[in-house]
A and B are shown apart, each in its own frame.
Chain A
């Protein structure tokens, strides 16, 4: 009797346990296995492809966010994790990490989606470093022809300028904190470090990102920002915190520290003529809003087909700071194009 009960519970756990929150497949590209999750309204024949930031962050985990779930009520949303990022597996060589290979990986992801979801229009939602990746991807005419529109969001296309502006933001924010008597020791430490660090490059990136995180560059109002359901994500989905941590460290060691700080794709923007919704958070301290304004100005897209949307209550992640406004802007764009 007791044995039968134990076996029943065991089988129930094995068979009925949590499943994947959508249609999860893997894209194998040069020894990397990239998880690709599709959720939402695929019958709409319009699909957003989310290109995550970092580099080394995660896109797949976004399925649990309020913004993506709301977006999925009307349109399909595809999220994938780049090589050596998030939940990606496969043991690729560390020297395969580079912008060109990331572009090839993205093209294969797009081709997999085109095959699995025929007669569907695809839109790139490219966040932060993902904006640089999308810029490089769309600058190629053949690849651009596969996409119906794009939405660079707090997109980092010119890291040289953005890092300089981010440093200036951090100094100003630290001075504000001291004036308000808030986080004074952190602010003083930051000011001292930035005083000795005129340029953010290489190994200094880690310290810089640490400071701006603590100074509020990513989320404008932590009290009201959308937060993922930690228990759901950690225990009942495809997410693995150790995987994301390991991959982030590997990406930083083998790609970001060497190549990120010198990245400047500004000369490729005029080649992009797609309908464009350029979005940015007013209080973004990682990729300050001037970058979004510059993207809007330099795009090759006709004026009637491009929009600049600044979220006044957001920092680097408007999809978390103002999810309702963010979703409304995206839905309007997808409906129009």
Chain B
């Protein structure tokens, strides 16, 4: 009985990587329009400086998955987790997913755009005081949740020309929203400077 319970999920886990790759072999002739900089996708990792208004520092960690690629054009899905600190104002922690499009030229230069949605949690960057039963008391701030829509524009460069194999350097400008903020959508701007590694 116990062996039966184990075998089935193990079988699914073993077959899943094969199942995911089937469509890639089923539909398209990969030789027809080869991408000039076809990237190996098994596990790209993105790490970037994330600066809200450029100078409020933070970090972004992410990955992406190629959804479609023809010639110089690629559509992809991306997921990011990160945070930043606006000193004296707030700390922002976020988790977002995005759909992106990248145009890569033979030179290795690329242009991209992403549209995303995610979750932003903001915490006050300072001690918090309120009126308690016996007077003023310090309270812990658990932060506030917000919806985080975003749009990003960026450009990048294939790192192989700089001796950095299987990497892509990039810079991005992101506009993201924070809702609700005092009943409205608060716009933010962020600059990203980072690298994507394509692990084989």
Binding site for B on A (CB under 8 A): 2, 10, 13-14, 17-21, 24-29, 33, 35, 37, 84, 87-92, 94, 108, 111-112, 115, 234-240, 242-243, 246-247, 249-250
Contact = CB atoms under 8 A, between A and B. Distances in A.
Contacts of A24: 88, 125-126
A90 B135 contact: no
Interface string B170-187: 000000000011111011
B103 to A, nearest CB: 26
A20 to B, nearest CB: 3
B49 to A, nearest CB: 6
Contact of A240 (B89, B129, B141): B89
A7 B131 CA distance: 43
Nearest to B146: A91
A250 B182 CA distance: 8
Contacts of A33: 124, 128, 141
Contacts of B183: 91, 94, 250
A238 B182 contact: no
A111 B141 CA distance: 19
B136 A90 contact: no
A108 B139 CA distance: 14
Contacts of A247: 182
Nearest to A246: B184
Nearest to B189: A242
A111 B53 CA distance: 34
B62 to A, nearest CB: 15
B144 A28 contact: no
Interface string B37-78: 000000000000101011111110000000000000000000
Interface residues of B, number: 38
Interface in B116-163: 122, 124-131, 135-136, 139, 141, 144
A24 B136 CA distance: 16
Given A89-B181, A242-B188, A108 B136 contact: yes
B85 interface: yes
Contacts of B139: 28
B88 A88 contact: no
Given A108-B136, A111-B135, A115-B135, A26 B128 contact: yes
B129 A27 contact: yes
A87 B125 CA distance: 12
9 contacts: A24-B88, A26-B124, A28-B129, A33-B124, A89-B124, A92-B182, A238-B88, A239-B89, A250-B184
B80 interface: no
B86 interface: yes
A26 B141 contact: yes
Nearest to A247: B182
A19 B88 contact: yes
Given A28-B128, A88-B182, A115-B136, 15 more contacts: A10-B49, A14-B59, A17-B85, A19-B88, A26-B129, A27-B129, A89-B90, A89-B122, A91-B183, A112-B129, A235-B55, A238-B86, A238-B125, A240-B89, A242-B188
A14 B58 contact: yes
B88 A246 contact: no
Given A90-B144, A108-B136, A240-B86, A13 B126 contact: no
B36 interface: no
B87 interface: yes
A272 to B, nearest CB: 25
A35 B126 contact: yes
Contact of A20 (B54, B59, B126): B126
A269 B58 CA distance: 50
Contact of B55 (A2, A18, A29, A246): A18
B53 A20 contact: no
